[in-house]
Amino acid sequence: MPKLGVDRGTLIPPTWSLPEALRARLSSSTYGRQRAIHEEGHLLLVLHKPPGPDESRREGVLFWRAPTGEWLFNRGGPGPGGLQRHVQSYADLETQLSQTFEQTADLHQVFELLEALTPLVRAARNLHLTLQSAREAVKSDPFLIEVRDRAYDVERNLELLLEDVRNSIQFRMAREAEAQARFSRDAVVSSHRLNILAALFLPPTAITSLFGMNLAHGLSERNPVWFWMVFVGGVALGVLLKGWVTVRPQRPS
């Protein structure tokens, strides 16, 4: 698997007054996995933005809760609203993918949906676990309870959607396999019937052609109506034989 990474650069804003014990637990060049770091009353949340299906690199964000209860976001703006929008971005993707799933009819598109869902479900699960860890570290902040519960709802909805997608793939593959098996059975039956026709008509046709056995029927000298009657009869017989060869056999009840 490719190693997860993020954009290089300074991760902690210079205006943040974090204790050295907390800074020592965060790399200067990569965010790493999603986690909650709690040191000396300071809480730092290391989170990932929702990943795309082909993204091997995770774009990280930081949320800092000071001992005073103030929240800050390293991408600018107040922390509480930024954290709520971060969780909501997962919820918006879940809604979008659910609508896509309801409108998807092609099996290939369902596989693409599965490819998009798998990393998203993993990231949402880690987001919920991180917020749960933060809630256990800071028990007096009701805001953490709110965003944790919201993250749990998002994780659960994504897991249910992933299960529905997998069930849909299994059902569609089973249905296509059944249709292919039925087509193969029909082809075998049709081939067998053609072999029967060949066995009936090939020997006399070959013998009469070999010895030039033409009956003196005299129809060529009679009224043309007889020719057309024989022609129509031959066409009708051909249609009957075609129907017999191509008709599907009855399934056993």
Quote the number of domains for the chain. 2
Does residue 1 form part of some domain? Answer: no
Does residue 7 form part of some domain? Answer: no
Q: Could you tell me if 119 and 230 lie in one domain?
A: no
Does residue 161 form part of some domain? Answer: yes
Q: Output the pLDDT for position 181.
A: 74
Q: Which residues contact 208 (CB under 8 A, 6 or more apart)?
A: 214
**Helix 142-211 × helix 107-137 angle, to 10°:** 160
Query: Cα(66)–Cα(39) distance, rounded to whole angstroms?
Result: 10
Give residue 222's identity as a one-letter amino acid code.
R
Q: Pairing state of beta strands 35-39 and 60-65?
A: unpaired
Does residue 69 form part of some domain? Answer: yes
Q: Output the pLDDT for position 244.
A: 63
Q: Output the pLDDT for position 4.
A: 37
Q: Output the pLDDT for position 200.
A: 64
Q: Are 22 and 40 in contact (CB under 8 A)?
A: yes
Query: Cα(38)–Cα(21) distance, rounded to whole angstroms?
Result: 9
Q: Are 38 and 138 in contact (CB under 8 A)?
A: yes
Does residue 183 form part of some domain? Answer: no
The tens place of each residue's pLDDT in the chain, 253 residues long, gives: 333 333 333 688 888 888 888 888 888 778 889 999 999 899 999 999 998 877 778 889 999 999 998 998 887 767 788 999 999 999 999 999 999 988 887 888 888 898 999 999 999 999 999 999 999 999 888 999 999 999 999 999 999 999 999 998 888 777 777 777 777 777 777 777 777 766 666 666 666 666 666 666 666 666 667 667 766 776 777 667 666 656 666 655 4
Does residue 35 form part of some domain? Answer: yes
Q: Could you tell me if 172 and 230 lie in one domain?
A: no
Does residue 3 form part of some domain? Answer: no
Q: Could you tell me if 157 and 47 lie in one domain?
A: yes
Give residue 83's identity as a one-letter amino acid code.
L
Q: Output the pLDDT for position 229.
A: 72
Using alpha carbons, list the distances in angstroms from residue 2 to 51, 86, 119, 124.
Answer: 14, 25, 13, 19
